[in-house]
Structure 1
Amino acid sequence: MNLFAKTGKMALGSRLRLLTAKVTDDAAKIYELYQVGLVPKWFPVFFVLSEEGEKTITEIAGAIGHSQPSVSKIVREMTAAGLVRENLDTGDRRRNVVALTPEGQKITSKIKEQYADVDAAVEAMIATARHNLWEAIEEWEYLLDRKSLLQRVEEQRKIRESKKVRIEEYKPEYQSAFRALNEAWISTYFEMEEADYKALEDPQGYILDKGGKIFVALYDDEPVGVCALIKMDDPFYDYELAKMAVSSKARGKNIGFLLGKAVIQAAEQLGGKNIYLESNTILKPAIGLYRKLGFRKVAGHFTPYKRCNIQMAMDLEAARDKSGL
């Protein structure tokens, strides 16, 4: 059975480990072939010391991309084999300096022929293969440094889960969910305030009858997120994005983003030119979401909330111009 044909790219790590094991096994035999007393895992440390001379454990770790404990373990093994010595007389006993011994230096001159033959063998494989593995590895390292595989999987999970989410406009039967979801998140971080009670006890009169809208996110037909668009009587801002709350059991499904987009779209359809919101900087995921939606920090607007320590706004016309719409 070809395991990887069945698992697909899900088993990327397992396949890379298998490939690494094949190459490492051959590497050990290659050292024996050239009668070089090295173990494959020692090579990065040996190479740095042979090319650049004495180094501290910290310097070696930085040069080869290993942890300091890993380098320390390799240095101990190489010391036992008589290839390196550490704690050299540098005048500073706090610095653990490592260098090749005369025996290790002998390998430096002896291994050059092995270097040439291995390099030629790899180049021959690259010439034969349809894809240049060496360049591909470099490219993948760059991509994973920018965004880890975990982050990429989390993104795909959000995309998949978000397809199960349905955004609906408010109905009277959603009033209890609107209140419960908001009370839950507010009480987790802050305290309920007078302005909260006004909006949550009478969303019809406080929000809808004044020209606003409320959106509800449904997951498996259960209300798991809410967000309001409140009409403002203000010379600078037309609408406020407010009362966004997502159930803790529905996090990671892109619900906040979908609700935010629904609110922004509604404001545009109602002829709004800008949207305002208030938040608190301890809510880092929320602030990141607002920035992703297009909001930027503003200051100086009156707020009825004690918990507000950041104000943000979005110019809808500028956003449309920027997107080319």
Structure 2
Amino acid sequence: MNFFEEVGKVAIGSRLRILTDKVTEDAAQIYKLYHIDMQPKWFPVFYALVREKEKTITKLARDIGHSHPSVSKIISEMLKKGYVKESKDKADGRRNVVSLSKKGVEISKEIKDQIIDVNAAIEEISAQAQHKLWEAIGEWEFLLEQKTLLRRVIEKKKERDSLKVEIVDYLPEYQEIFRSLNVEWISTYFTMEESDYKALDDPQGYILDKGGFILVALYEGEPLGVCALIKMNDEEYDFELAKMAVSPKAQGKNVGFLLANAIVEKARSLGASKIYLESNTILKPAINLYHKLGFKKVAGKPTPYARCNIQMELAVK
């Protein structure tokens, strides 16, 4: 096991597979020891049918935590062996139920001593072990049900990628990326409008000179995201969060959240009390991001954009 000591926990799947293979190999020999003609992989299905006389394949799969195709294949193999039988569900004639055949019932009686001895052997291993494997497996299963390993790895990747993101103030050299990133997403989902051209063709005059700000997200030095705060002449709102765009190259790198959070902090540092934004519900990732930041839906303000079907606000004080 030196390999696993060196590679560490990232090889947990391989190590568990080796352990599973060892136990399964022994299980096959144990069945022979007790003169039981059964494959180890059949046992969960077989035992479930011992406990409950009949079940649908769907219920069997759900009860033992296997996929429907996997259970269907096992049932087919057990049917050929003559251990189970299929019949129509008495409560619903459209469904088939599976139950032990006469031969299967006989096997269930013969296997009782084996189950007693295997259980005792497992108890012996548990008593000798420092850690309780059975309880640990249960804990891992519960925790992975709450959040899968894939989901956890995605989150860790985002955390690591976040360290490569730098949020900087807008400079004239970023005008082309500010324009191109916004034109890209707007043209993908909608049509460019007059107000878009005003902001994107002259960000200095339309946004910055009027008291607004633009932030740029750099990923490993490359500008991949932009967002603006547009000063509003409004009694209720200080700034509008607008022209937020992130390159498809930055997907999954947490750039959008870091950029939006930075622009909110920028507004807060300027003494703003409320931020306003306009969007469209077809942009689900963006809407989810705004909700994550604490934006709430509002209604009633006039808008220059035909594509706008949702307005939101955030209290920053």
Query: 1:67 is matched with which residue?
Result: 67
Query: 1:252 is matched with which residue?
Result: 252
Query: 1:286 is matched with which residue?
Result: 286
Tell whether the 8 Å contact from 1:87 to 1:93 is kept in structure 2 after alignment: no
Q: Give the letter for the 1:57 counterpart.
A: I
Aligned length: 317
Query: 2:148 is matched with which residue?
Result: 148
Counterparts in 2 of 1:96 and 1:89: CA distance versus 1, 3 Å: closer
Aligned pairs for 1:34-183 (under 5 A) are 34-88=34-88, 90=90, 94-183=94-183
SS in structure 2 of the partner of residue 87 of structure 1: strand
1:75 deviates by 0.9
Query: 2:262 is matched with which residue?
Result: 262
Q: Give the letter for the 2:56 counterpart.
A: T
Query: 2:22 is matched with which residue?
Result: 22
Query: How far apart are the structure 2 equivalents of 1:128 and 1:275?
Result: 63
Q: Give the letter for the 1:203 counterpart.
A: P
Aligned pairs for 1:176-191 (under 5 A) are 176-191=176-191
CA RMSD of aligned residues (A): 1.7
1:92 deviates by 5.5
Query: How far apart are the structure 2 equivalents of 1:188 and 1:7?
Result: 45
1:297 deviates by 2.1
Instruction: List runs of 5+ in structure 2 lacking aligned partners.
Output: none
Query: How far apart are the structure 1 equivalents of 2:116 and 2:203?
Result: 76
Tell whether the 8 Å contact from 2:89 to 2:95 is kept in structure 1 after alignment: no
SS in structure 2 of the partner of residue 233 of structure 1: coil
Q: TM-score, normalised by structure 2?
A: 0.94
Query: How far apart are the structure 2 equivalents of 1:138 and 1:158?
Result: 28
Query: How far apart are the structure 2 equivalents of 1:306 and 1:143?
Result: 46
1:300 deviates by 2.2
Q: Give the letter for the 1:40 counterpart.
A: P
Aligned pairs for 1:165-244 (under 5 A) are 165-244=165-244
1:89 deviates by 7.5
Counterparts in 2 of 1:54 and 1:290: CA distance versus 1, 3 Å: same
Q: Give the letter for the 2:298 counterpart.
A: V
Query: How far apart are the structure 1 equivalents of 2:88 and 2:252?
Result: 53
Instruction: List runs of 5+ in structure 1 lacking aligned partners.
Output: 318-325
